[in-house]
Amino acid sequence: MFLLLIEDDLAQLQALKFLLETLGHRVEATTDLASGSQRLGQTKFDAVVTDYSLPDGNPKHLIQQGLLDTERTIVVSGDPRAEEMKGRVAYLFRKPLSMGRLEEALGVLRAAKGER
């Protein structure tokens, strides 16, 4: 799958990008909503994996702009305010993230898209 990863913590961004690529995904990564918004406007991604608390807002802003396909979005956060995304996105995971749960969620999204 072709994923957009939005995470402001550089260590977490690099680790998650590496793990997702190891699982066979193509990953574009960015550290803020502005860059994520720009990429979403230019490129078609199969899914988005994003932190909730970003320096310039949260994923709600991308939803309000009509840029985020909520059925193909995974929010990962340690911020309790992220609970507001429950039911608004495909998956909401708390940090620390279980890679097994993330891999399973991406598998479900892949199957829904009709990929193997």
CA 30 to chain centre: 11
Per-residue pLDDT tens digits for 4-46: 999 999 999 999 999 999 999 999 999 999 999 999 999 999 9
Please, what is the average pLDDT of the chain? 94
pTM of the model as a whole: 0.94
The full set of domain ranges for the chain reads: 2-113
* CA distance readout (Å), 37 to 13, 25, 61, 74: 17, 20, 9, 16
- What share of the chain has pLDDT > 70, as a percent? 98
Angstrom distance (rounded) from CA 24 to CA 18: 10
- The CATH architecture one would assign to domain 2-113 is 3-Layer(aba) Sandwich (3.40)
